[in-house]
Chain A
């Protein structure tokens, strides 16, 4: 009798787990299902009011159309250049700064860390007009450099803040040993600290990449020229219906826009979760 009840409870638990899982998977994936499904449905179907939950025919014509009608490869390239350069640039500046904050005690350190946190909380709209004027003065409107600088105003404070935590977590003894063995402090950073804190650096890099790939407002304001447009700016014109482009092609572009961040996510998934909990206010 007792065994039976135990078996019943075990089955009941499994059933609940399956129901819970199904609900979560449905909520998380169902909206994106429409992107994929519409992107492979032949376009002319969408002149008529004909909503199908499963596509009757499958085609890749929408994807071809995207590159025929629009210089979509240009937009894709723009996004790639901006996002990856923002990652490299931000990390290059943030790593030494974060290491210095984490390891050395110097005058003004406390004040600077605090200001960094406060600066990070300045809303985007405050910076919008001043940055526009600065970039105009420097002749950087509609350039990669300009947009990357603007994105860095968000990503650098974030990366420094995230990396301080990672560097602090490394035992000091490692560098001390390196110093005793004749390394310079800089050599200790490059040969000992960097390899060991790679998970943190990778996490920071992924966050910056996803943020820079997704951000819309700066790209919209500072880089909306045809040659320099990034994907979110292009998608915005689609959403407004100003483009005369139909849902099939729009969803094809949405799929391609999602692919790179999704790939990055799949490869580096385990690093992300540690980074997410380190506290992010923006982006």
Chain B
């Protein structure tokens, strides 16, 4: 009551009044539905996964579930060759895709930063691979490399590079190559937009100054653009690497992780253990290790975000 009265006193500044007008419970009431839901579908499941990773648990024989402590983790790290292979393949997959995407996205972003008439249209066209559904992306690349009807085989035969059609998808390296190419295509628009947004925020006078000092195109790129762009490139590399290392959809849609374990990254291995073999205890341990790796990377990201977004403080 007093608060409300004070709020109406003319001597109180506007901002002060704004604060007094709030009810203490209101901020909590507004976040409550989201917090409750997130607790049920994110926090609780995550804790369940950590707990499950400490058990020998199989969906096919649930009654034999027993607590094994860290045994799953021990087995993973010291005795499981498929897991160690998956770790290496995760790095290979993430590293190759993210580097190729950057090498592709950087020149495209620089190009789109030039001034020309149809720039707006071209910008929209660049986004199209990102808009195309993941499952359709998978279909496109599986079709292009198809052993019987694929255009890639046909083109290579016509050019005389290969003698007969090759079943690329059945080959270890071939299938990895297909998924990686599909992902590069599907994901590079995101990078272009991030880099372009950064490029457009750079002050123009630096370029003027460089030109007056006699810098050519290459020099102004090397000494003006690149140093300014570096933080964004690093951020995008980090974000994309995190995203790629836990990505399941495209790899699973195109290859199922195969042939054999040729495309088993950590998340694919975890999914295979849980969804196919029903070994959910062990699968949870694999998934939790992935989550721990990502949380380390997330710390770097959060530190960056806290610098640029003041409201986290």
Contact = CB atoms under 8 A, between A and B. Distances in A.
Given A49-B148, A127-B46, A180-B14, A106 B253 contact: no
B141 A31 contact: yes
A15 to B, nearest CB: 12
Nearest to A262: B131
Contacts of B148: 49
Contact of B274 (A28, A35, A129): A129
B46 A282 contact: no
Contacts of A116: 38
Most buried by A among B22, B118, B295: B22
B140 A34 contact: yes
A57 B122 CA distance: 31
Interface stretch (B63-71, B91-99, B108-116): B108-116
Nearest to B21: A179
B267 A124 contact: yes
A176 B15 contact: yes
B128 A28 contact: yes
Contacts of B254: 239
B274 to A, nearest CB: 5
B31 A101 contact: yes
B231 to A, nearest CB: 13
B294 interface: yes
Contacts of A277: 193-194, 197
A82 interface: no
A34 B143 contact: yes
A269 B127 contact: yes
B122 A265 contact: no
Interface in B13-47: 14-15, 17-18, 21-24, 26-28, 30-31, 33-35, 37-38, 40-46
A84 to B, nearest CB: 16
Most buried by A among B132, B256, B309: B132
B32 to A, nearest CB: 8
A283 B257 CA distance: 20
Contact of A119 (B42, B131, B271): B42
| Chain A interface bracket (under 10, 10 to 19, 20 to 34, 35 or more) | 35 or more
B180 interface: no
A216 interface: yes
B149 A231 contact: no
A21 B128 contact: no
| Chain B interface bracket (under 10, 10 to 19, 20 to 34, 35 or more) | 35 or more
B138 interface: yes
Most buried by B among A125, A254, A282: A125
B151 to A, nearest CB: 6
A210 B128 CA distance: 12
B129 interface: yes
A123 B249 contact: no
A66 interface: no
A190 interface: no
A257 B302 CA distance: 36
Nearest to B185: A31
A110 interface: yes
A125 B246 contact: yes
B140 A32 contact: yes
Nearest to A35: B140
- Where chain A touches its partner, the secondary structure class is helix
Most buried by B among A101, A251, A277: A277
Contacts of B194: 276-277
B223 interface: no
A56 interface: no
B134 interface: yes
A157 to B, nearest CB: 7
Contacts of B37: 93, 152, 156
A205 interface: no
A139 B75 CA distance: 34
B144 interface: yes
Given A129-B49, A176-B18, A31 B140 contact: yes
B280 interface: yes
A233 B271 CA distance: 16
Interface of B: 14-15, 17-18, 21-24, 26-28, 30-31, 33-35, 37-38, 40-46, 48-49, 52, 108, 111, 114, 116, 118, 122-129, 131-144, 146, 148-151, 153-154, 165, 185, 189-190, 193-194, 197, 239, 242-243, 246, 248-249, 252-254, 256, 267, 270-271, 274-275, 280, 283-284, 286-288, 290-291, 294-295, 298, 301-302, 305, 309, 311-313
26 contacts: A51-B151, A51-B153, A93-B34, A100-B28, A100-B31, A102-B311, A117-B302, A122-B46, A124-B267, A127-B42, A128-B271, A129-B52, A130-B49, A133-B48, A134-B48, A156-B38, A180-B14, A216-B253, A235-B136, A250-B143, A254-B140, A257-B133, A258-B133, A262-B128, A273-B127, A276-B190
Given A32-B132, A118-B298, 4 more contacts: A125-B270, A125-B290, A129-B274, A152-B41
